[in-house]
Structure 1
Amino acid sequence: MANNLLKGKRGIIFGALDENSIAWKTALKVKEEGGSFTLTNAPIAMRMGKINELAAACNAEVIPADATSEQDLTNLFSKSVEILGGKLDFVLHSIGMSPNVRKGRPYGDMNYEWFLKTLDISGVSFHKVLQTAEKLDSMNEWGSILALTYIAAQRTYPDYSDMAQAKAVLESIARSYGYRFGKLKKVRVNTISQSPTKTTAGAGISGFDVFFDYAQMMSPLGNASSEDCASYIVSMFSDFTRMVTMQNLMHDGGFSSTGITEDLIQRLTK
């Protein structure tokens, strides 16, 4: 049931690829709650995905942008403010890609040029988004900017590879820029550490099904779905969370606070 939590609020949603994307689910939920927004993704991702279908369903305009390009981001924020009729209240950064993971390079034999690309796309791009928003004065006071992350930023998970470093950078940027943006404009900046989720990107990680099943057994509430994550994001965009900033928010069904569970003990008992 919609509650108009975002009535009159404007924003940008990065990273909607197809109906499995958390960003896709978020766009639908934001629309349901009364928000308006532009959609954006890298040109190559737009060719692979279905973002135009989402735009039609949400009555939203699509502005292609490479999140690593300051020029593209300047164009994105400027056009979004113009199209939406005013400054922004929310931004979702739902971006992540590792050439090393995608091309199967092991952690002990990484291509370092690809590693730097991973850091730029999956981590540093968040700083570029925040810096662009500040320089263009695109955010309203008490706005909310979020990025999606994963617990591998703090704990080691085989096969997550250099994405773990990128997410650690992302979370650090949220703390540092959260302080700055809070002092400047009362804008809050947070990351959401989501359960392993069956998105197109997530499924591309080797061993993902095992990650997913293990987390399901370790989480007293079970894995958080993409739909649940979209609802959490909406709450973080709303005025009910105005004093939450610089946080890495665990949205994982209790996984991050659980040592071992009965389900796992039963699975391991021989």
Structure 2
Amino acid sequence: MAYNLLKGKKGIIFGALDSNSIAWKVAERAYEEGAIFTLTNAPVAMRMGEIQKLAEKTNAHIIPADATVLDDLEKLFIQSMEILGGPIDFVLHSIGMSVNVRKGRPYTDLNYEWLTKGWDVSAVSFHKVLQTAWKLDAIAEWGSVVALTYIAAQRTFPDYNDMAENKAYLESIARSFGYHYGVRKKVRINTISQSPTRTTAGSGVKGFDAFIDYAEKMSPLGNATAEDCADYCITLFSDLTRRVTMQNLYHDGGFSSMGVSQLIMEQFGK
């Protein structure tokens, strides 16, 4: 059901790769709620995905951009404002990558060149996006920026590897830039700490299927799906959350508040 929560709003959505992507679901929901937006991803990621189908479905323009390259980001914001007819009301940062995870390198034996690449893609890119928008004055007053994160930024999940540090840094950027953008333009910046979700990127983590099952049994409401996360993003893009900023918002069915659940106790008591 649609409520026209984003009627008249303009956005940029980073990271839609295929129909399993949270960014893909957000784009679908934003379109249903009346928004217009551009879609972007790194050229190499776009060749792997099906973003053209999403663009056709949502009447969106695609602008290739590497979020780690400042020139690409500047062109992205300038072209988006030209296409959409004004400053941007919302931005979704749904980008994350660890070369160490992809190549099976353990946390105790990291390749630091790979670490730096993953850190740049997963976290520093968020600062680059915000700084570029800041310098271009590209985000409208009371705009909203959301980045996706995970509870491994606060708690230890061994197989999440160096992505834990990436997400911790991402969350810090939201708080730090959230202050400056709030004072300047009333723009709010938040992160959503999502349940483990079956996306192309998430499935690359070792033992992912087992962990999804564990999180499901730990969470009173069960794991939040990609569709659920899209709904939450829409509320943060809307005017209903105008005073929410600099927050790391857990969207995990209650997992983050749990110590142990009855289902887990019963499983280990067998």
Instruction: Bin the TM-score by the shorter chain.
Output: over 0.9
Partner of 1:9: 9
**How many Å separate the matches in 1 of 2:259 and 2:206?**
24
CA–CA distance in 2 between the matches of 1:252 and 1:110? 29
Measure how far apart 1:25 and its partner are: 0.3
Amino acid at match of 2:153: A
The residue matched to 1:91 in structure 2 has which SS? strand
Distance 1:214 1:183 in 2: 41
Matches within 5 A, 1:1-270: 1-270=1-270
Distance (Å, rounded) in 2 between the aligned partners of 1:62 and 1:205: 29
Q: List alignment gaps of at least 5 residues for structure 1.
A: none
Determine helix, strand or coil for the equivalent of 1:180: helix
* Distance in structure 2 (CA, Å) of the matches to 1:34 and 1:57: 13
Letter in 1 for 2:113: E
Question: Aligned with 2:20: secondary structure?
Answer: coil
Shift in Å at residue 207 of structure 1?
0.7
1:59-94 deviation per Cα after TM superposition (whole angstroms, max 9, x unaligned)? 100000000000000000000000000001000000
Distance 1:175 1:32 in 2: 30
Distance 1:124 1:156 in 2: 22
Letter in 1 for 2:122: S
Number of matched pairs: 270
* Structure 1 counterpart SS, 2:201: helix
Q: Provide the rounded CA distance (Å) in 1 between the counterparts of 2:249 and 2:108.
A: 31
1:208, CA displacement in angstroms?
Answer: 0.5
CA distance in 2, matches of 1:21, 1:56: 17
1:210 Cα deviation from its structure 2 partner: 1.4
Structure 1 CA distance for aligned equivalents of residues 189 and 91 of structure 2: 10
Distance in 2 between residues matched to 1:46 and 1:268, nearest whole Å? 44
Task: List structure 1 runs of 4+ shifted beyond 4 angstroms.
Answer: none
Deviation at 1:46, TM superposition (A): 0.2
Query: For each residue in 1:202-246, what CA deviation from the matched residue of structure 2 results, as whole angstroms up to 9, or x when unmatched?
Result: 011111111101110110000000000000000000000000000
Cα drift, residue 108 of structure 1: 1.1
Cα offset, 1:109, TM superposition:
1.1
For residues 156 and 66 of structure 2, what CA distance do their matches in structure 1 show?
Answer: 29
What is the CA RMSD across the aligned residues, in angstroms?
A: 0.5
Counterpart code for 2:246: M
The DSSP-based 3-state class of the residue aligned with 1:31 is helix
Secondary structure at 2:193's aligned position in 1? strand
Query: In 2, Cα distance between the equivalents of 1:255 and 1:162?
Result: 22
TM-score normalised by the chain length of structure 1: 0.99
Task: Give the secondary-structure state (helix, strand or coil) at the position aligned to 1:214.
Answer: helix
- Structure 2, unmatched stretches of 5+, are none
Compute the displacement of 1:266 (Å).
Answer: 0.7
- For residues 136 and 227 of structure 2, the distance between their equivalents in structure 1, rounded to whole angstroms, comes to 32
SS of residue in 2 equivalent to 1:159: helix
Taking the aligned partners of 1:102 and 1:182, their CA distance within structure 2 comes to 36
